[in-house]
Chains A and B, each alone.
Chain A
Amino acid sequence: MLFNSFPFLVLVTFTFFLYYTNALRRLQIHILIISSFVFYAFNNPILLLLLIFSVAINIISSYLVGISTNQTRKKWCAILGVTINLITLAFFKYSGLIAITFFNSADTLFDFLNTIPLPIGISFFTFQGISLVVDTYRDELTTEEKNKFPKYGLNVALFISFFPQLIAGPIVKAHDFIPQIKTKTRKDIHWEDVIKYLILGYFLKSFVADNLKDYTYWIAYPFFETKSSITLIFMLFGYSMQIFSDFAGYSLIAIGIAGLFGYQLKQNFNFPYIAQSFSDFWKRWHISLSSFLKEYLYFPLGGNRKGKVRTYINLLLTMILGGLWHGAAWSYAVWGLFHGILLATERLLQDLVHIRNNHILKTVKFSVVFIMVSIGWLLFKLPEFSDAVKYIYSIIHNTELNPDYSNITYIIIYSTPIIVYHISYLLRSTNSYNKVKKYSYLAYGFMLFLILTNSGTSQEFIYFQF
């Protein structure tokens, strides 16, 4: 179910009124769980069984971890819980990749593995399951949150299936969400924040991303071969803007909708395109995934505590697995490796070279980060690695072709809000910004006007495929 679809509007409205009806106050968690199941089952009802399976496994395993007093038993229950989550993810998400990599197309197993469907949002809810089991093992949840089985089961079911962030994040950690579960009243809604998140989120998705997609559409083989170098550069720039606005838009809508039910989700994006280093970029882009990988993978691997060589290896490994989390294709692993190499190189340079930061250096660093990140997005748009190479080749060699003026014009127009958005962040501490800030309702009014009059055709969010 798309956030920008009529059925979703009906679902949210209906759920909202039931949720805050006084007579049903004791059933708030049940209402949210049922709505979440309806939301998930809407396009493919059979896959609801998988979500229910995931919920059940995580209730049982985390409960057993929570009540175990024997440390060895507790550890094995946690390992079992994490393993089942990972096997579920591997079976449904990576079966196709395993088939292509290890089996011959004539094998019956090849056909079987290729017919396994990819359930929407599986990468998100299995990671939340892992977070639950690990947080329980680390005793990051209070005794009250762990005990009283029926209530505990409902809390976990809501944590795993909460529909605003179920299929494309932000990935919520158990220790952030479960303590928030309690009876809510309308005064728990921060209306101003909710309104702003929703308008900004829908603006980024419907006005920016859904329009840009009609111009970045041509980043597909063999179409891009007929485009001029300058057009190809603009299209890549446009795709950078599109993927940001698509995903940041989704996250903001998710935060806004969660706010309607009294839940606060953490920010998933923090103006990533102003980053001046790759490590800074990953602190600003898809923050919930970055922090998950850091907390549950990089640190357990040893982080930077086991010497320089191990730090580089840990970085590369974390980024490769992070890349594979995005998609079941080796190009995603290459994308992860690409970012891992950038992070490792940056760390190496920081150790070796010490230059005083000035405006010129800051601009150079910002430009390098943006250009390299944008080149990396090619592997998202063109999952065939060879196509990405051909795209770069075409940028270098298509200098003799005429620019596609129309394409360039509209990429500039629809990317401008993202540039303004990032600049406004850079100017946030200036006096003039603070003077203008009190008229922010005009900006939100203008965005609402553009959502109504100039939305692109609604399309699935890019991150749904992950």
Chain B
Amino acid sequence: MELHRNSFISNFDMLKNIIFSALVFLVIHYLIVFFSPPNWLGAPQNQWQANMIRAENLILSDTYFEKIIVGSSLSVNLNYGQFDHTWSNLSFSGLSIYEGLEIIHHLEQKPKYLFIEINVLLRDKDTFFLEHLFNPIKYPIKKKLSILKESQQPVSLIGEPLLYHLIRKLMPSNKSNNNPKIVDIKKELVQKMSKDYDIVPIDKIQNQIALLKKLLTPIENHGTKVILFEMPIDQALCNTPLTIAIRQAIKNAFPQYFFIEHPDCTEYSTSDGIHLDHDSALKFVNYFKDKIQQI
């Protein structure tokens, strides 16, 4: 028994050393974060993390956002830096509008205005994302300990500010995005998508609208004003049977909401058929701002 106890104690020393070292590293990391320039923090490492950071910036923050945009990757391109601090953009790449709406359900104080993108109405909710965001262990800890937030990961501190620029220097590239290969790939992508945009799954549209109504009712009960909007996409996809059907179904189901229709798609360009490029995104922001003046 004595041998057992001694053996455990000597091993316990190892465990103690490991835990103590981990705590020291945590303190060092905290100090680095504390003294780092703001532009070193918050750079997402990838699409998933960008979504998480965007969500955490809202749910772990004490700030009240009066206007919230809910959308898919199409609305991520709305450069909300052009909006003032009362805005928050809950648009998630690779996800739907339903994750954003679920997050708003968790907010104690609902926004005054809620802007909902309708383009990707048919994509289903990703429960895994929401489970991860509201993990019963991590979520309360993150609320208390900001150092565990996604935006403050140690790798983000060395990734974006240091190594990324070094690699850019080591692998310089002057290749144009208009080279024939990229143009061909874009054309191919649009062609592939246009086949999907010719199919109108009526039942699925009705189901998703029913789900949207269900999610919006309790938010509206808090006095939130809902505004729907549609992002411009490639002109070949802009008025396909699917986009027309979704647009019409939305108008029929929600006649009471203000609807910002998409502008003339021929005046906008995309990187892959559905996501606006930088200049077009900025142009749409101006269009969007003009429209909301009318509300």
Contacts and interface: CB of A to CB of B under 8 A. Distances in A.
Q: Which of A408, A412, A454 has the most CB of B within 10 A?
A: A454
A174 to B, nearest CB: 30
Interface in B134-173: 135-137, 147-148, 152-155, 158-160, 163-164, 167-168, 171, 173
Interface stretch (A114-122, A297-305, A327-335, A399-407): A399-407
Contacts of A215: 46
A444 B21 contact: yes
Given A412-B163, A445-B19, A403 B171 contact: yes
Interface string A165-202: 00000000000000000000111001110010001000
Contacts of B287: none
B22 interface: yes
Contacts of B29: 449, 453
Given A6-B136, A401-B182, A441 B14 contact: yes
B22 A401 contact: no
Nearest to B163: A409
B154 A454 contact: yes
Interface string A317-347: 0000000000000000000000000000000
Given A402-B175, A445-B24, A453-B153, A226 B19 contact: no
Interface residues of B, number: 53
Given A402-B175, A445-B17, A457 B48 contact: yes
A299 to B, nearest CB: 40
Nearest to B3: A187
Contacts of B168: 405
Contact of A214 (B47, B181, B272): B47
A230 interface: yes
Contacts of B4: 185-187
B18 interface: yes
Contact of A457 (B20, B132, B179): B132
A431 B47 CA distance: 44
Contacts of A412: 163, 167
Interface residues of A, number: 42
A214 B155 CA distance: 14
B256 interface: no
A225 to B, nearest CB: 6
Contacts of A38: none
A402 B15 CA distance: 47
Contact of A402 (B14, B47, B177): B177
Nearest to B24: A445
Contacts of A23: none
A383 to B, nearest CB: 20
Given A445-B24, A454-B154, A6 B171 contact: no
Nearest to A214: B46
Chain B residues touching A, majority SS: helix
B11 interface: yes
Contact of A441 (B17, B136, B137): B17
Contacts of A214: 45-49
Interface in A431-466: 441-442, 444-446, 448-450, 452-454, 457-458
A405 to B, nearest CB: 5
B181 A402 contact: no
A19 B136 CA distance: 27
B39 interface: no
Interface string A209-236: 0010011000000100110001000000
Contacts of A405: 164, 167-168, 171
Contacts of B153: 453-454
Nearest to A408: B167
Interface in A381-408: 398, 400-403, 405-406, 408
A98 B18 CA distance: 51
Given A410-B159, A454-B155, A402 B173 contact: yes
A348 interface: no
B15 A191 contact: yes
A402 B173 CA distance: 6
Interface of A: 6, 185-187, 190-192, 195, 199, 211, 214-215, 222, 225-226, 230, 398, 400-403, 405-406, 408-410, 412-414, 441-442, 444-446, 448-450, 452-454, 457-458
5 contacts: A187-B4, A187-B7, A400-B175, A414-B155, A453-B29
